[in-house]
Amino acid sequence: MGIFGPDWSQIHQKESSGILSVVLKTLSFLYGAGVRLRLRAYRGGIFKRQSLPGFVVSIGNLTVGGTGKTPAAIMLATWALKEGFRVALLSRGYGGRYRKKVLEVSDGNRIKADPRNAGDEPYLLAKKLAGIPVVISEKRYAAGIFAHEKFGCNFFILDDGFQHLELRRDLDLVLIDAERPFGNGHLLPRGPLREPVEQLARADACIITRCGVQSSGGNLPNFLGDESPAIPFFYADHLPKKVDFPFLDEIHGPGILDGKKVVAFAGIARPEVFKQTLVELGADTVYFRGFKDHYIFKQDEIQELIHIKEKLDARYLITTEKDWVRIASVAPAYHDMAYLCIEFELLSDRDNFFRMIKDGINR
pLDDT one-digit tens code per residue, 97-109 = 999 999 999 999 9
The region of weakest confidence among 118-122, 214-218, 219-223, 288-292 is: 214-218
Position 2 scores a pLDDT of: 45
Residue 10 has pLDDT above 50, yes or no: yes
SS (H, E, C) 102-133: CEEEECCCCECCCHHHHCHHHHHHHHHCCCCC
Question: Where is mean pLDDT largest: 123-132, 209-218, 229-238?
Answer: 123-132
Work out the angle between the directed axes of helices 69-82 and 120-128 (0-180°, nearest 10). Answer: 30
Q: Which of 321, 281, 286 is closest to 305 using CA atoms? A: 286
H or E element in which residue 21 lies: helix 18-43
Residue 148 has pLDDT above 70, yes or no: yes
In this structure, whether the domain defined by 240-343 belongs to CATH 1.10.20 is answered with no
What would the mean pLDDT of 117-122 be, rounded to a whole number?
Answer: 96
Buried b (16+ CB within 10 A) or exposed e, 170-182: bbbbbbbbbbbbb
Query: Residue 158's CB: how many other CB atoms inside 10 A?
Result: 27
What would the mean pLDDT of 319-332 be, rounded to a whole number?
Answer: 96
Q: What is the pTM of this model?
A: 0.94
CB 187 within 8 A of CB 193: yes
Condensed to tens digits (0 to 9), the pLDDT of residues 28-81 reads 999 999 999 999 999 999 999 999 999 999 999 999 977 889 999 999 999 999
Q: Where do the domains of the chain lie? A: 55-231, 240-343
Residues contacting 196, CB < 8 A, separation 6+: 32, 35, 36, 187
Residues contacting 94, CB < 8 A, separation 6+: 119, 121, 160, 294
Residue 175's DSSP bridge partners are 61, 207
Residue 1 has pLDDT above 60, yes or no: no
H or E element in which residue 312 lies: none
CA 235 to each of CA 32, 170, 205: distance values in angstroms, whole numbers, following the listed order: 29, 21, 11
Q: Which of 220, 324, 210, 336 is closest to 272 using CA atoms? A: 210
Helical residues (DSSP H) of 217-316, grouped into ranges: 220-227, 271-280, 299-311
Average pLDDT, the chain: 93
What are the phi and psi torsion angles at 175 (to 5°)?
A: -95, 135
Any idea of the CA torsion for 82, 86, 89, 90, to the nearest 10 degrees? -160
H or E element in which residue 9 lies: helix 8-11
Decide which of 3.30.450, 1.10.3470, 3.40.50, 1.20.120 is the CATH code for 55-231.
3.40.50
What would the mean pLDDT of 280-303 be, rounded to a whole number?
Answer: 96
